[in-house]
Amino acid sequence: MINMEHKIAVKDYEYECGEGCCSESGKEWYVDGEFVHRSPCEDNGWMAVLKKLGIKAKLVGLDEQGEEAWEL
């Protein structure tokens, strides 16, 4: 097994449209200096990082009873 170290960087962003009626803020994700994802959803950012690293994964959200309620 090859043990490689990767650098994962996260940068906040804010966007406002020209008319000022809409805005968005979130995070930009980078792996080893390469942009991989931009979104207000941190879960999607982590999934994009894992995909870039070649790791197949599912993120599962659990409800109050511990049952799977959603997945990415």
Q: d(Cα 27, Cα 53) in Å, to the nearest integer? A: 18
pLDDT band at 1 (very low <50, low <70, confident <90, very high): low
Q: What is the pLDDT of residues 13-72, one digit of tens each?
A: 999 988 889 999 999 999 999 999 999 999 999 999 999 999 999 999 999 999 999 998
Above 90 in pLDDT, residue 2? Answer: no
Asked whether residue 10 carries a pLDDT value surpassing 90, the answer given is: yes
Is residue 10 a contact partner of residue 28, using CB atoms and an 8 Å limit? yes
Say which residues have a Cβ less than 8 Å from residue 64's Cβ, sequence separation at least 6: none
Judge whether 28 and 35 are in contact, CB under 8 Å: yes
Least Cα distance to 61 among 36, 39, 44, 37 occurs for 44
